[in-house]
A = this chain, B = another copy of it.
């Protein structure tokens, strides 16, 4: 049983490999009547596309989205929505030399172990190009959630290597601040340092990891399904399913393990409008797996991408030890381009749980 579908009600299936005919997504279970345009989807895709700045890969992928079903007169019809981008600028010959060996920490070896053979062109299905379908589907979810429930999704680069943006005020976070620099860190001073580090790493022919913080605002209380489909359990899965992700933490996360209950518990109070609120938010907006109405925030750890120009030891299919010196055009740091992916996966989780919650009445 394969795993290319995500969500229970708002259900997406992505397809496509980096050098096949296209990449994209089918959305099933999208409510009818949502106004959505090609431009709105394209806007999100442009935030993840390669070649968008000098710190991303210089591959050119046009990534023009096509809406091929499920939308009529500008509105979703309730039937499956097919969104895809045809592959262009494919240079399979770039990969000829990789055909016969396993790049370290890449999916070459494991795909071959799993499926017996593999599409070796540009990582095939294991290419991060697959995330295009996620971002396209996320754009539809975002539109619904913003329009109907004023729910907002923000993500930003909080760390690149050991350069960290401290003290970001999540309550006053603005999309413009994040998008105002090419690394997508709202602290402009830190952003400059990050960019400098990425440029250095790029010039070394190496790569570097980092951390993205995700923030979701205005989620109504009550979303999340005990006991396995807790809201943060589904967020964890969503995030860890993104290529290169090695960790996830919500609210206080790993640092909360060192706290006492008396410090960590979020005391309830009543705000001026008579609403139940918490005084602190170590819970990260989720208690018992269910949203409590506070801001949801979490952190996602990305490893340094495995494709680097530096020479590395590896083995080939003939089980010989060889040295790999990769050519090709790769990202020294995926985090700037991963920001819209984190947002998209967040939107898919919230969308699904919001629709699931409707079945309880």
Q: How far is the CB of A200 from chain B (nearest CB, A)?
A: 10
B contact residues around A68 at 8 Å (CB): 15-16, 20-22, 84
Taking a contact as CB atoms under 8 Å apart, the answer to whether B26 and A126 are in contact is: no
Q: Residue on B with the closest CB to A335?
A: B257
Task: Kindly state whether residue A217 has any CB partner on chain B within 8 Å.
Answer: no
The number of times this chain is found in the oligomer is 4
Complex interface: stretch among A41-49, A169-177, A311-319? A311-319
Given contacts A11-B2, A22-B68, A113-B290, whether A282 and B268 have CB atoms under 8 Å apart is no
Instruction: With a 10 A CB-CB cut-off, give which of A210, A232, A237, A274 has the most chain B CB atoms.
Output: A237
Given contacts A116-B33, A241-B227, A248-B236, whether A20 and B69 have CB atoms under 8 Å apart is yes
Taking a contact as CB atoms under 8 Å apart, the answer to whether B109 and A268 are in contact is: yes
Q: Residue on B with the closest CB to A10?
A: B359
Q: How far is the CB of A11 from chain B (nearest CB, A)?
A: 7
Identify which of residues 93-146 in chain A touch chain B, using a CB-to-CB cut-off of 8 Å: 102, 104-107, 109-111, 113-119, 121, 124-126, 130
Which of B66, B80, B246 contacts A249, CB < 8 Å? B246
Taking a contact as CB atoms under 8 Å apart, the answer to whether A1 and B5 are in contact is: no
B contact residues around A233 at 8 Å (CB): 236-238, 240-241
Distance, CA A81 to CA B14, complexed state (A):
10
Task: Kindly state whether residue A51 has any CB partner on chain B within 8 Å.
Answer: no
Taking a contact as CB atoms under 8 Å apart, the answer to whether A256 and B109 are in contact is: no
Q: Tell me how many residues of A have a C-beta within 8 Å of chain B.
A: 155
Taking a contact as CB atoms under 8 Å apart, the answer to whether A110 and B287 are in contact is: yes
Q: How far is the CB of A290 from chain B (nearest CB, A)?
A: 4
Q: Residue on B with the closest CB to A234?
A: B237
Taking a contact as CB atoms under 8 Å apart, the answer to whether B248 and A115 are in contact is: no
Task: Kindly state whether residue A190 has any CB partner on chain B within 8 Å.
Answer: no
Given contacts A29-B2, A259-B303, whether A266 and B105 have CB atoms under 8 Å apart is yes
Taking a contact as CB atoms under 8 Å apart, the answer to whether A17 and B69 are in contact is: yes
B contact residues around A3 at 8 Å (CB): 224-230
Distance, CA A237 to CA B232, complexed state (A):
8
Q: How far is the CB of A141 from chain B (nearest CB, A)?
A: 13
B contact residues around A209 at 8 Å (CB): 256-259, 264
Taking a contact as CB atoms under 8 Å apart, the answer to whether A356 and B15 are in contact is: no
Taking a contact as CB atoms under 8 Å apart, the answer to whether A260 and B221 are in contact is: no
Identify which of residues 292-316 in chain A touch chain B, using a CB-to-CB cut-off of 8 Å: 292-293, 299, 301-308, 310, 312-315
Taking a contact as CB atoms under 8 Å apart, the answer to whether B124 and A291 are in contact is: no
B contact residues around A78 at 8 Å (CB): 2, 114-115, 360
Identify which of residues 239-294 in chain A touch chain B, using a CB-to-CB cut-off of 8 Å: 239-241, 243, 246-254, 256-270, 274, 276, 278-279, 282-284, 286-293
Task: Kindly state whether residue A147 has any CB partner on chain B within 8 Å.
Answer: no
Please list the 9 inter-chain residue pairs (A to B) with the smallest Cβ-Cβ separation, ordered nearest first: A107-B288, A3-B229, A3-B225, A247-B249, A207-B261, A110-B290, A21-B68, A237-B237, A15-B80
Q: Show 24 A/B contacts (Cβ-Cβ < 8 Å), sorted by A.
A: A1-B11, A1-B356, A1-B359, A5-B11, A13-B26, A13-B28, A15-B79, A78-B114, A105-B287, A109-B287, A111-B226, A208-B259, A209-B257, A227-B241, A237-B237, A246-B250, A248-B249, A253-B301, A254-B299, A259-B303, A262-B310, A265-B308, A267-B314, A269-B315
- Give me 13 other A-B pairs in contact (C-beta within 8 A), A2-B30, A106-B287 excluded: A3-B228, A13-B28, A33-B115, A77-B124, A79-B119, A79-B226, A109-B292, A227-B241, A229-B241, A256-B304, A262-B308, A263-B304, A267-B314
